[in-house]
Structure 1
Amino acid sequence: SRAGVLDRYIARHPDQRSTYINDYFSYTNSLKAYTGELKGLRTPELMARKVAFEKAFQAAVRSDSALRRQYGSLWDEIARLRRRIADVAPRVNALNQGGSLRSQTLATALGVLQYAQAATSGMVPDSVLEAFRAELLATEINRELDAMILAAQIEDAVQLLGPDDPFVRDALQGRGVEAAATSIVNPSVLPDSARRAALLANPADLATTPDPAIRLMRSTLPRLRAAFQEFQRLTDAEEVRTSRLARALFDVYGADIPPDATFTLRVADGVVKGYEYNGTIAPVFTTFYGLYDRHFSHAGRPDWALPDRWRQPPAGFNLATPLNFVTTNDIIGGNSGSPVINAAGQLVGLIFDGNIESLPGDFIYTTETNRAIAVHSAGILEALRHVYGATRIVTELEATRR
C-alpha cells in the first residue's frame, strides 16, 4: 500500500517525518475505513440482513402492478451496469494519475500533455491556460519517494490489468517494478521545476521529447481518456437508476426509512449509550484521565504522544472532565463537526468520528455496537480555559447559556 511506502520512506529519512506524517495518517485512515467496510460486507450476519430486506423490498414492488411497471426492471438494469462498470473500472484505476496516491512524475507528465493540447487548440482562454501552467509549475516532486510510489503503482497495474497490458509493458520493458520506476523517474526532467518550465514554454516539443515519463503517458492518454469516458457514461446511467430506486423505496416505505445521505442537511436522532467492546463494556464517557493514560501507557510511541503543552496539566485543570462520549446517531463520512443537541436544545458536543464498528455503516446501520463519537462541550471548555488560555472565547461561549 501507499501507506507502507511512506512508512518505509519515513523510517529511511526520520528528519523528514514532519513533512510526510500527515499524508501517512491520511492514507492509514482511508485504509482503515475501507478495510472496516469490506469486513462488514464479508460478515454473514450483516449481509443476511441486507439480503432479507432487499427481498422484501423487491417483493413489495413486484406485488403492486403500478410499482412493478414503474420500478420492476431497475434491479436487472443496475446489475447489468455494475458488470460493465466492473469491467472498465480496473483500467480507470490503473491508468488514472490523479490524487496523492499516484506518482507525481506521471501525474505531471499527463498534465503537461493536456496543457500542450489545450495550448495548441486555440480554444482555451489564456487565463485558463495560465492557471493550469501555474498549477503544473507549483508541483514539488521528491524523486526518491516518487520512484517508490511509482513502483507500487506499477505493481497495482500488473494485478489489475495483467502483465500483457500495453501500459504495463510500456512501463516495465522487461524490468522489475522498482527498476522500471527508477528508470522512469530519475532521468525525467519533470521533477526539476526549471526544466519543467522550459518544457511548458515550448509545448510543441512534447510530441518528440524522449522523456520517459512523458513518453509513457503519451501512449497511455488515449486509453485513459476512452476508459474514463466509458466509466463516466456508465456511472451516470447508474446514478439515474439509483435515484429511481430511492423513489421506489419511499413509495413502498414512506417516512419509515430515512433517505440515503446525499450531502444535504438533516437531523439524526440517537441516545447516549455504551457498547460491548473487546471483552468488556465501552463506557459512555471518557475523561482527560484516559488521554493521559494513553500517553504514559504507550510511552515513546509517537502515535499516542501528547504535544508538549499538554504534558504537564496546569493547576486547576480537572482531569475528570468528560472528553468524548458515544451515541447511537447514524453517521458516516462527512459528519465531522456536526453539533450534538440534547433534548433541552443545548449544544452538548461535536461529532468528529465513529468507532471501528461503525465502518460498515455506509451500507447498513445497526445499534448493537455502531457508535458516533463526539467531543464533549465540557471538555472543549476545559481545554480552552486551562490549556490554551482562550478565556475570551470561553466567556463568549458560556454567555450563551444565560
Structure 2
Amino acid sequence: MKKLILFLSILTITRTFADEGMWLPHLISKNMEELHKLGCELTAEDIYSINHSSLKDAVVNFGNFCTGEIISSDGLLLTNHHCGFSSVQSHSSVEKDYISNGFWAMNKSEELPNAGLTVAFLVRVEEVTSYYFNNGVLIDNIDSVSTALQNNAVRGTHYTAEVKPFFERNSFYLFVNETYKDVRLVGAPPSSIGKFGGDTDNWMWPRHTGDFCLFRVYAGADGKPADYSPNNIPLKPRHYLPISLQGLKQNDFSMVMGFSGNTDRYLNSQGILLAYNQSNPTKIKIREKKLQLIAEEMKKDPAVRIQYVSKYARVSNYYKYFIGQNKGLKTLGVAQRKQEDEQAFYQWVNADAGRKEKYGYLKEGYESVYTVYEKINTPYVYFEECFFGIDVFMEAYKATNALSSFTASGDAAAVKRYKASADKYYKDFNAATEKKVFIALLEMYRDNVPVDMQSSLFPMIAKKYKNNIAKYADAAFAKSIFTDQDRMNAFLAAPQASVLEKDLVYTAMQTTLEEFRAKLGPYLGEVYQQLDNLNHLYLQAYLEWKKSELHYPDANFSMRLTYGSMKDYNAKDAVHYLHQTHLNGIIEKGDSLNDEFIVPKKLQQLYAAKDFGNYTDSTGSVPVCFISNNDITGGNSGSPVINGKGELVGCAFDGNWEAMSGDLVFEPQLQRCISVDVRYILFIVDKYAGAGYLLKEMDLR
C-alpha cells in the first residue's frame, strides 16, 4: 500500500507541456521550480498554507457552480456576470430591469441579499488514500469510510468536509471547507456590457465582454458564517487579492486558481466516439429546438424575456459547447490520436507476463461494455434532455420527496420548504412558453426513441388523445398543480395524495421515471459499474506506463491551480490572434440593430471623450479582455488570473472555439483561457457606474 501511495505521489513531479495541468494547490511545492522559471515570484506557502494566510484563502467556491475571489478587506467578491446572472435576474422586473440597465449599490445598505447563494472557503486538504486500500486492493465500503473521515474531520467545528476520489479512485483527498450563507449583490453591469457579443461571441476570440459581477460576503458578529440578517457584518477575510493596474504583456507569467469542474482527459477512444457520434448530436438537436421556442416567446413579451433570460443562457451555453466540441474532435483527430496512444499502451501491457495477467483484460473489457453502452446511450440522452428538460416535469420530480413526506407522515415543515421552492419556480414560469417546450420535447422523444424503451405515457396519449401530444398538453396544463400557482397554493394549503395521483403532469413524471429505471436502469447501472472498475484498473496501469511523466488528476470541482503565460495563437491558416483586446474594439463591433452588439450610450460617450482615467495601457486605450495558455474548464468561470507577484490582473470567463475538445485532450498550441482585464472592470465600476467608492476598499497597485 505504501508503494502505491508513493508511486502516485511521484507522479506529481514531472509533466508533458509547460502550460498544461490543473494542479492541486496543496501539492504545488513540487512544481515551484517550473513556476519560478516562468516568472512567478511567490513561494509554495504564499499559494497554499494552513499556517498563515495565502492565495487559497482569497479564492472561493461560488454557489457550487463557479469560482469567485475576495478583493477587499471588507469581503468584496469578484466573479463573472454569467455566474451572478441568476441573482441579477431574480431581483429584476419590468419596472426594475437590472438585466438591461445593470445594478449598482451606492452603499452597503443598498446591497441585495440572495437566498440560497453561498460561498465556500477551502480550509485545508488532507490525503486519505491509505484508508481506501487493503493490501493494494480498493475496498468496497468507500461511502462509509468517507462518511467517518468527514465526520471526524469537522467534529466540534462549524466546518464541512468532503472526500473526493482522484485518478479513478486510485487516490483520495479530504477537503475541509467553511461556507458563508449571506452573500449580497453589490454591482452588475448591464447585459450590453456583461454579455456583450451574446451567443455569437460565446466561446470565441477576439472578445470584448465585461463578464463580471460584484458581491459581498457577510458574517455574524463573531466573524463566522450566519444566515442572512441585517445585523451581519462584512467578512474580514484571511486574505484578499491586491489588484495590479500594470497588466500583462506577451509571455508574462499568469496563473489561475479556481474550482475546475469536470474533465475527461483519460477517457478512452470508445468514450470519445460515443460522445461524438451519439451524445453530442442528440443534445445539440434537442437544445436547438428548445432555444428556438423560448426565444420566440421572449421576443413577444418583456416580462417573459426577464423570466427566461437566465434559463435561455444556461441551455445556450452548452448547446454551443457541444457543437464546438464535436468540431474540435473532428478537426484535431482526437479519437485517432487516442487510438494510437491505446495501441502503444496495450503493446506495453503485452510485453510483460505480469502486466498481461494484471491488465490484459482491459481491451476486451472496454469493447464488451461499450457494445452495450452504444445501444442504450441515445435513449438515455433523450430521456435526460427531453424529460428533465421540461420544467414542469422537473418541478414534479423535486416535489416528490417533500409532498410524499407530508402525505405519509404529516410533515408540515416539508410542505413549507417546498412552498418556498415552488414560489421561486413560478416566479419564472410562463405557461404558454412551457407548453410549447413540453409538446416539442415529448414529440422528439416519441419520434426518436425505440418503442420498447419508451414510457407507457405514449400509448396512453395515442389511445386517449389520438396520438396528439398537443391535446394531451392542453389537458395537463389546464388542470395540473405544476402549471398554475393558484392551483399549487390551494393544494399546499391542504395536501392530499389523491390530488397527486390524478395530476397528469405528476403521474406522467412518475410513470416515465419508474419505467425508465425498470427498462434502462439495470443496463446503465451495469455499464457504469463495469466502466468504474475498468477505469480504475486502466488508470493504475496507465500511470505505471507513463511513470516518468507528471499526471494531474481530472477536474472534479476541487480547487486547482494552472500556470502559464499570456500568449497569442495561430487559430487557422493565415489567422493569427493577438493576446489583448481594447475598448475601441467594442466601438468597432457595435451595432444598434443587433441586440448582442448594442453599446450603451454612456460607454460611447466615455470613449468619445477619452475619459479613461488611469485604466489604460501603452496603447492609450482601455484593455478589455486577454488570453493566456492557462488550462481551465467549466467551474473556473470567475477564477482570478494572478500575476507573478500574487496580484489580480483579470477574471477568467471562457475558453476558445478552436480548442473546444480541451476537456478531453489538452491542445498546447491552440488552447486559451479568455479573461476580462481587471482594468476594464475598474473602468466600468468607476467611470461607467459611478461606484468609485468601491475602489477605496481595494489595494490598487
Name the TM-score, length of structure 1 as normaliser.
Answer: 0.84
| Aligned twin of 1:260 | 554
Residues 154, 240 of structure 1: alpha-carbon distance in 2 compared, 3 angstrom cutoff: same
1:283 aligns with 2:586: no
| Aligned twin of 1:271 | 565
Shift of 1:149: 0.8
1:301 to 575, 594, 618: 594
| Aligned twin of 1:378 | 679
SS at match of 2:595: coil
SS at match of 1:335: coil
Shift of 1:391: 3.4
Residues 62, 232 of structure 1: alpha-carbon distance in 2 compared, 3 angstrom cutoff: same
**C-alpha separation in 1, matches of 2:398 and 2:640:** 41
Shift of 1:130: 4.2
1:167 aligns with 2:457: yes
Shift of 1:65: 3.7
Shift of 1:272: 2.0
| Aligned twin of 1:118 | 405
Shift of 1:186: 3.1
1:229-273 superposed Cα distances (whole Å, 9 cap, x missing partner): 533564355334324433333222134343322223333232322
Shift of 1:302: 1.0
SS at match of 1:139: helix
- Asked which structure has the greater RCO (Cα within 8 Å, sep 6+), the reply is 2
| Aligned twin of 1:35 | 323
SS at match of 2:446: helix
1:5 aligns with 2:289: no
- RMSD over aligned CA atoms reads 3.2
After TM superposition, the structure 1 = structure 2 runs for residues 220-369 of structure 1, keeping only pairs within 5 Å, are: 220-226=512-518, 229-230=521-522, 231-232=524-525, 234-254=527-547, 255-277=549-571, 279-295=574-590, 298-313=591-606, 316-317=611-612, 318=616, 320-369=621-670
> Given that residues 480 and 505 in structure 2 are in contact (C-alpha distance below 8 angstroms), is that contact kept between their aligned partners in structure 1?
yes
SS at match of 2:546: helix
* Partner amino acid, structure 2, of 1:333: G
Name the TM-score, length of structure 2 as normaliser.
Answer: 0.51
| Aligned twin of 2:66 | none
Range that drifts further, 260-269 or 329-338? 260-269
**C-alpha separation in 1, matches of 2:422 and 2:681:** 41
Residues 110, 23 of structure 1: alpha-carbon distance in 2 compared, 3 angstrom cutoff: closer
* Partner amino acid, structure 1, of 2:687: H
1:321-345 superposed Cα distances (whole Å, 9 cap, x missing partner): 2221112222221112223233454
* Partner amino acid, structure 2, of 1:41: L
1:152 aligns with 2:451: no
1:104-152 superposed Cα distances (whole Å, 9 cap, x missing partner): 1x33444555555434444x96544542454346531422111101112
| Aligned twin of 1:23 | 311
1:107 to 391, 394, 398: 394
SS at match of 1:256: coil
* Partner amino acid, structure 2, of 1:263: F
Identity percentage over the alignment?
23
SS at match of 1:262: coil
**C-alpha separation in 2, matches of 1:323 and 1:251:** 45
Shift of 1:290: 0.8
> Given that residues 640 and 652 in structure 2 are in contact (C-alpha distance below 8 angstroms), is that contact kept between their aligned partners in structure 1?
yes
Shift of 1:189: 4.2
**C-alpha separation in 2, matches of 1:391 and 1:137:** 36
Residues 94, 46 of structure 1: alpha-carbon distance in 2 compared, 3 angstrom cutoff: closer
When you count helix as a share of all residues, which structure comes out higher?
Answer: 1
1:48 aligns with 2:357: no
Residues 5, 277 of structure 1: alpha-carbon distance in 2 compared, 3 angstrom cutoff: same
**C-alpha separation in 1, matches of 2:525 and 2:400:** 22
Q: What is the count of residue pairs matched by the alignment?
A: 395
Unaligned runs of 5+ in 1: none
1:187-236 superposed Cα distances (whole Å, 9 cap, x missing partner): 43432223224445342313652x43234335334213435753356435
* Partner amino acid, structure 2, of 1:262: N
* Partner amino acid, structure 2, of 1:34: F
> Given that residues 390 and 441 in structure 2 are in contact (C-alpha distance below 8 angstroms), is that contact kept between their aligned partners in structure 1?
yes
Residues 243, 324 of structure 1: alpha-carbon distance in 2 compared, 3 angstrom cutoff: farther
**C-alpha separation in 1, matches of 2:461 and 2:382:** 12
**C-alpha separation in 1, matches of 2:461 and 2:401:** 20
> Given that residues 91 and 227 in structure 1 are in contact (C-alpha distance below 8 angstroms), is that contact kept between their aligned partners in structure 2?
no
**C-alpha separation in 1, matches of 2:404 and 2:603:** 54
Residues 348, 194 of structure 1: alpha-carbon distance in 2 compared, 3 angstrom cutoff: closer
Residues 145, 171 of structure 1: alpha-carbon distance in 2 compared, 3 angstrom cutoff: farther
**C-alpha separation in 1, matches of 2:666 and 2:558:** 19
Residues 334, 101 of structure 1: alpha-carbon distance in 2 compared, 3 angstrom cutoff: same
Range that drifts further, 357-366 or 238-247? 238-247
Shift of 1:78: 3.9
| Aligned twin of 2:159 | none
Unaligned runs of 5+ in 2: 1-288
When you count strand as a share of all residues, which structure comes out higher?
Answer: 2
| Aligned twin of 1:219 | 511
Residues 128, 195 of structure 1: alpha-carbon distance in 2 compared, 3 angstrom cutoff: closer
* Partner amino acid, structure 2, of 1:22: S
1:327-371 superposed Cα distances (whole Å, 9 cap, x missing partner): 222222111222323345443322211111121111111123221
**C-alpha separation in 2, matches of 1:306 and 1:197:** 43
**C-alpha separation in 2, matches of 1:208 and 1:327:** 56
**C-alpha separation in 2, matches of 1:161 and 1:98:** 11
**C-alpha separation in 1, matches of 2:621 and 2:387:** 43
Residues 252, 389 of structure 1: alpha-carbon distance in 2 compared, 3 angstrom cutoff: farther
> Given that residues 641 and 652 in structure 2 are in contact (C-alpha distance below 8 angstroms), is that contact kept between their aligned partners in structure 1?
yes
> Given that residues 111 and 136 in structure 1 are in contact (C-alpha distance below 8 angstroms), is that contact kept between their aligned partners in structure 2?
no
**C-alpha separation in 2, matches of 1:286 and 1:237:** 48
1:185 aligns with 2:185: no
> Given that residues 571 and 658 in structure 2 are in contact (C-alpha distance below 8 angstroms), is that contact kept between their aligned partners in structure 1?
no
| Aligned twin of 2:359 | 71
* Partner amino acid, structure 1, of 2:560: R
Shift of 1:386: 2.3
